[in-house]
Amino acid sequence: MAAARPIWRGQLRLSLVSINVEMFPAHKSGATTSFNQIHAPTGKRIHYQKVVDGVGPVPADEIRKGYEYEKGEYVLLEDDELDAVKLETKKTLDLVQFVDEAEIPPLYYDSAYFLVPADELAEDAFRVVRDALRKSKRVGLGQLALRGKEYLVAIRPCGKGMLLETLHYQEEIRKSDSFFSEIPAKSADPDLLEVATALIDKKTAKFDPTEYKNHYQAALRELIQRKLKSKGRRIEVEEEKPRQESGNVIDLMAALKKSLESGERTPAKSAARKAPAKKAPAKKAAAKAAPRRKAS
């Protein structure tokens, strides 16, 4: 915690109760492999310049924020003018409403942050709000001004702390009608539905994020290592074999039943199957024991 710096400090307020809190990003930014654009003939990194048509590159102190009120016409705003916009949510996060945990549709959620008490004096009130949310199974809603925007946020318990999640506003959500309009308004065949539900039940297990690995990142790191060993020479890429596509007319029931009867397991169940068994007491035997077969 000492190394991390909060991206926001302020007060979490519930009616007349104010709690000093700090907010930290819940996601790591360097977990995936990133690339820079490089000029191939020289091997040097490409940089970008801010330019104006007919003028060329311009210095940073000549750049202002502008709002286009008509095509090609802008009103310019100074940084101190923007900072002067008074919003109580810059320093105070007021919990104005509470809703059931499952009431907010998943597509509204955006980014996640950890919320912690800022000092020892805030810990008692922080615990009360956290545990009250946990007991009631509710999520607190409020608004928070951060980095030039005002966010709608939801707060829920998370271990010993709380999780703050930014939400999209209603106008930011696309309506699904235009995407789903071509799907016929029919229900699934009851027999097919029964088998598909049984397949889902078979593959249901407790969520364990450690069971899921980023295979693309692993393959990418392996490619980079191969490229380094080859001293930058081009690596021959194997062509991916085309997938055999089944025809439009398939026996869906047969496919579902075959899937249900297969030995395929969920990652959690596979891990449980691979757990080492207790060793049986060693027995003296004349014949050498056969080597153990590795679990697939």
Is residue 152 included in any domain, yes or no?
yes
Q: State the Cα torsion 33-39-45-48 to the nearest 10°.
A: -100
Nearest to 166 by CA among 183, 147, 184, 193: 147
Q: Average pLDDT over the chain, rounded to whole?
A: 83
Q: Give the percent of the chain with pLDDT over 90.
A: 43
Q: Look at 24-38, 53-67, 136-150 and tell me which has the smallest mean pLDDT.
A: 24-38
Which one-letter DSSP state was computed for residue 231? T
pLDDT at residue number 151: 94
Is residue 129 included in any domain, yes or no?
yes
- Name, in order, each residue with C-beta under 8 angstroms of 114's C-beta and a sequence gap of 6 or more: 23, 24, 25, 26, 158, 161, 162, 163, 164
CA dist., res. 235 & res. 81, Å (int): 54
CA dist., res. 132 & res. 264, Å (int): 42
Domain that holds residue 98: 13-28+85-172
What pLDDT, in 10s, does the model give residues 33-62? 788 898 888 989 998 889 999 999 999 888
pLDDT at residue number 293: 43
**8 A C-beta contact, residue 87 and residue 146:** no
Tokens encoding 187: 């229900």
What pLDDT, in 10s, does the model give residues 78-113? 888 877 776 777 889 999 999 998 999 999 999 999
Distance of CA 100 to the CA centre of its chain: 22
Is residue 143 included in any domain, yes or no?
yes
pLDDT at residue number 31: 67
What pLDDT, in 10s, does the model give residues 147-203? 878 999 999 999 999 999 999 999 999 999 989 999 999 999 899 999 999 988 988
Nearest to 22 by CA among 30, 14, 11, 37: 11
Nearest to 255 by CA among 186, 192, 204: 192
Nearest to 150 by CA among 93, 201, 205, 108: 93
3-class state of residue 262 by DSSP? coil
Q: Is 229 exposed, middle or buried (0-12, 13-18, 19+ CB in 10 A)?
A: exposed
Is residue 114 included in any domain, yes or no?
yes
3-class state of residue 64 by DSSP? coil
Q: What is the CATH number of the domain that holds 133?
A: 2.40.290.10
Is residue 120 included in any domain, yes or no?
yes
Is residue 131 included in any domain, yes or no?
yes
pLDDT exceeds 80 at position 19: yes
Number of independent structural domains in the chain: 1
